[in-house]
Copies of this chain bind each other. A is one copy, B any other.
């Protein structure tokens, strides 16, 4: 993470547009792949996948770092690093309120990723 140029692009896939027909329906163009792959990559670590789930399934829609960290056998800095990765991938947002920092999922991008992976029953039956 220390050297990747274009640092902290936040991936700006904030578009509410559907953005992508299912991967199995039309060939994903290189530009789309370049934008979306980092999000999948961010979910490609077990710790981050759990973090994402803990944040997205939290009661009030947000989770405090102080609740996230003790759920793993990892140091604070490591969890912070993973959260930064999720942030840079555009999967979560962070907000500081007083002493604590709260993370919140961005449902739009989750929906986009899900849509990309979705498979029409028709497509499966096409064979």
Q: A11 contacts the other chain (Cβ, under 8 Å)?
A: no
Q: Are B46 and A44 in contact (CB under 8 A)?
A: no
Say how many copies of this protein the assembly contains: 2
Whether the Cβ atoms of B126 and A119 lie closer than 8 Å is: no
Contacts A33-B50, A43-B37 given; does A25 touch B57 at CB 8 Å: yes
Tell me if A's interface is mostly helix, strand, loop or mixed. helix
16 additional A-B pairs beyond A30-B46, A41-B43, A113-B117, beta carbons within 8 Å, are: A23-B49, A23-B110, A24-B53, A25-B57, A26-B57, A27-B57, A33-B46, A33-B47, A33-B49, A36-B49, A37-B44, A37-B49, A40-B49, A41-B41, A110-B119, A117-B117
